[in-house]
């Protein structure tokens, strides 16, 4: 059954360089995250100007196509058409992308944590609601209803190493059940040794944040367990699976195929399990504790400065995907202290952004801007601010800065008040219950969160209402003061054939005019000539699509047939290259018309003006036959 996102999905696949250019695909709350072999093959401007795409970001070694709230639906269709495999999964022998250490770290963190965040937030919300209901005596904390729901609310976080073992195994291309087995081993030792023994044999670094207990030995070597245990921990399992990826790769090379399915996991676990408890686990636990000590010291030094900085720059971090670097610190704090204070100054940011957009909605008289504001406000209330950022505030610049200032003030209040989150809850309005202490039923942190959010929203709203001015329409003026048509001129026919309406095309993006206004041509011959004097600004390696910019400023896209990207260059012979200067009538491409049609593809070819907003009118005539070089489109 066809999806309403079929057209959008095909445009995305085509303009990231085609299926063959994609190494892997995943998604988060609002964006598709591609890893591409060559990002230079992607047609970023076409994607940015496509209806249904908010913007495109290249950051952290990923090519991110920002979609919005319905990204899971678009992801499913893109994946179904492209057959890219399961989320975050890349072939073990696939091409590697060289990334800087910082980009590699962000990519690793996002790959491991992103699949868990939805459920982690959901279970945190359940825990927060239970605390709220218990606080107001709606249900009893000793009753069966509370305990049953609390089992999943707390259980997911308690057994987080097992879930992270699974996602880390996918990221590092390890047998996923091997990763889960290592996570289970960490928790099993917690349960069997730490809980079964009244006292440890000895304790190293007793009385400090680095306290480590010894309960038993392995061939005489002490087995070290952190005083807080491995439950809910993050760093130990990630490092353990990373080490396992190297060990497993070694055994895969030498173990015969006939016994590989069980012998490789056995040998990998036999080595990595003791290695995890004797070396990897203690080192990871030390790093875990060190993160907590450093972040505590930073906030102790000046909580106001820390809060202002994190609150003010949080949205900038999100834009570039750098917010992932803070997630492990938050989870480490939950493990070490039972609460987190580091990430919380960012909480007011989404509300400040939403207040700015609501103010713009009230002030603007532009109907297009109003139509963008309504869904952006609704999304922002629930913590998803990409539609607001990319669609409204960032392009206008000043509103985005106002939202950051208001968010910084909210963050400063949160940090100065010592606000603590006791669970990883939902975003936006769903996040308030995360600040209830489930054990003591203390709601003071939640009250401060309400105060900080209110202050940030009021400041953002008032400043925007006072300063927002509608931008005057931009026009290009000649010295004489008359309106200048940007790039007025004539487009000649690049093909010989019959001129038809764009609406006859099967691709929604072309037929609806989203990619530009123009015509479709049913070619009679398999030759394409240049319709203008200008430059080839994009020429897909497959030869099926070409972007041109004329010397008078017109930008156009010519796409031979529909879905012909799937032919992967078969039946297309390029006669020019991207970056070439071209003249009217110059042969740019030859294609086998009969072979393309024989393969089951339509050859109806759109010729569209992609910078149509620069013109007052685009004039053409359909229902006629044209020869090469005949006048096709007039731009006014």
Q: Considering only CA atoms, which of 615, 613, 593, 595 is closest in space to residue 605?
A: 593
Rounded Cα gap, residues 366 and 150, in angstroms = 49
Where do the H-state alpha helices sit in 136-175? 144-158, 160-171
Active site residue 158: no
The SS3 call for residue 313 is: helix
The CB density around residue 329, as the number of other CB atoms within 10 Å, is 17
- Token reading at 230: 């491995």
E strand or H helix that includes residue 408: helix 398-416
Supply φ then ψ for residue 209, to 5 degrees: -70, -15
Q: Of residues 27, 323, 544, 559, which has the active-site annotation?
A: 559
Rounded Cα gap, residues 410 and 455, in angstroms = 7
Rounded Cα gap, residues 536 and 117, in angstroms = 43
Active site residue 559: yes
At what angle are helices 6-15 and 71-82 packed, to 10 degrees?
70
Q: Where are the beta strands (DSSP E) in 575-626?
A: 581-582, 587-591, 605-609, 618-620, 625-626
Q: Considering only CA atoms, which of 217, 211, 223 is closest in space to residue 286?
A: 211
The SS3 call for residue 394 is: helix
Q: Of residues 27, 28, 323, 404, which has the active-site annotation?
A: 28
Rounded Cα gap, residues 295 and 258, in angstroms = 50
Instruction: Give the pairing type, strands 55-59 and 31-36.
Output: unpaired
Alpha-carbon dihedral angle through residues 251, 257, 261, 266, given to the nearest 10 degrees: -30
Q: Considering only CA atoms, which of 402, 395, 340, 404 is closest in space to residue 369?
A: 395
Active-site residues: which are they? Answer: 28, 559
């Amino acid at each position: 059954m066809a999806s309403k996102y079929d057209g959008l999905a095909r445009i995305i696949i085509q303009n990231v360089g085609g299926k063959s250019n994609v190494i892997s695909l995943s998604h988060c709350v609002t964006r598709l995250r591609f890893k591409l072999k060559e990002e230079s093959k992607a047609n970023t401007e076409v994607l940015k100007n496509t209806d249904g795409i908010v913007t495109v970001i290249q950051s952290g070694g990923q090519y991110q196509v920002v979609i919005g709230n319905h990204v899971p639906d678009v992801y499913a269709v893109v994946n179904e058409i492209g057959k890219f495999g399961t989320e975050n999964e890349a072939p073990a022998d696939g091409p590697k992308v060289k990334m800087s250490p910082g980009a590699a770290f962000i990519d690793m963190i996002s790959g491991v944590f992103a699949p868990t965040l939805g459920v982690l937030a959901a279970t945190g919300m359940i825990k927060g609601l239970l605390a709220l209901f218990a606080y107001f005596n709606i249900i009893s904390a000793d009753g069966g209803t509370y305990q049953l729901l609390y089992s999943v609310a707390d259980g997911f976080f308690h057994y987080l190493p097992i879930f992270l073992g699974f996602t880390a195994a996918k990221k590092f291309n390890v047998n996923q059940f091997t990763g889960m087995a290592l996570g289970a081993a960490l928790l099993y030792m917690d349960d069997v040794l730490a809980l079964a023994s009244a006292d440890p044999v000895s304790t190293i670094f007793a009385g400090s944040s680095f306290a480590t207990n010894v309960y038993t030995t392995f061939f005489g070597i002490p087995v070290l367990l952190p005083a807080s245990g491995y439950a809910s921990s993050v760093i130990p399992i990630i490092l353990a699976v990373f080490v396992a990826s190297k060990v497993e790769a070694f055994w895969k090379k030498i173990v015969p195929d006939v016994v590989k399915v069980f012998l490789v996991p056995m040998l990998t676990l036999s080595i990595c399990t003791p290695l995890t408890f004797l070396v990897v686990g203690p080192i990871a636990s030390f790093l875990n504790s060190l993160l907590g000590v450093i972040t505590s010291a930073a906030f102790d030094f000046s909580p106001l400065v820390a809060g202002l900085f994190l609150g003010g720059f949080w949205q900038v971090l999100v834009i570039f995907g750098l917010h992932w670097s803070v997630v492990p610190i938050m989870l480490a704090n939950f493990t070490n202290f039972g609460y987190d204070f580091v990430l919380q100054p960012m909480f007011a940011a989404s509300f400040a952004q939403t207040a700015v957009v609501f103010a713009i909605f009230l002030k603007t008289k532009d109907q297009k801007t109003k139509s963008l504001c309504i869904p952006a406000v609704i999304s922002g209330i629930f913590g998803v601010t990409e539609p607001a950022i990319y669609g409204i505030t960032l392009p206008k610049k000043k509103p985005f800065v106002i939202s950051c200032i208001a968010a910084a003030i909210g963050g400063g209040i949160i940090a100065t008040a010592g606000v603590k989150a006791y669970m990883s809850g939902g975003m936006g309005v769903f996040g308030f219950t995360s600040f209830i202490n489930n054990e003591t039923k203390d709601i003071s942190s939640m009250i401060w969160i309400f105060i900080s959010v209110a202050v940030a929203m009021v400041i953002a709203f008032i400043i925007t209402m006072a300063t927002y001015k509608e931008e005057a329409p931009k026009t290009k003026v000649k010295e004489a003061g008359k309106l200048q048509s940007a790039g007025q001129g004539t487009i000649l026919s690049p093909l010989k054939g019959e001129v038809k309406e764009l609406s006859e095309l099967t691709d929604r993006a072309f037929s609806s005019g989203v990619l530009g206004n123009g015509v479709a041509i049913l070619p009679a011959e398999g030759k394409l000539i240049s319709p203008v004097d200008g430059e080839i600004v994009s020429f897909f390696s497959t030869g099926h699509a070409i972007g041109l910019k004329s010397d008078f400023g017109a930008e156009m896209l010519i796409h031979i047939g529909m879905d012909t990207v799937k032919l992967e260059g078969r039946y297309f012979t390029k006669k020019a290259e991207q970056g070439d200067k071209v003249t009217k009538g110059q042969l740019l491409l030859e294609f086998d018309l009969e072979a393309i049609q024989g393969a089951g593809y339509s050859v109806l070819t759109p010729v569209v003006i992609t910078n149509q907003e620069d013109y007052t009118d685009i004039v053409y005539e359909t229902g006629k036959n044209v020869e090469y070089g005949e006048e096709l489109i007039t731009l006014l």
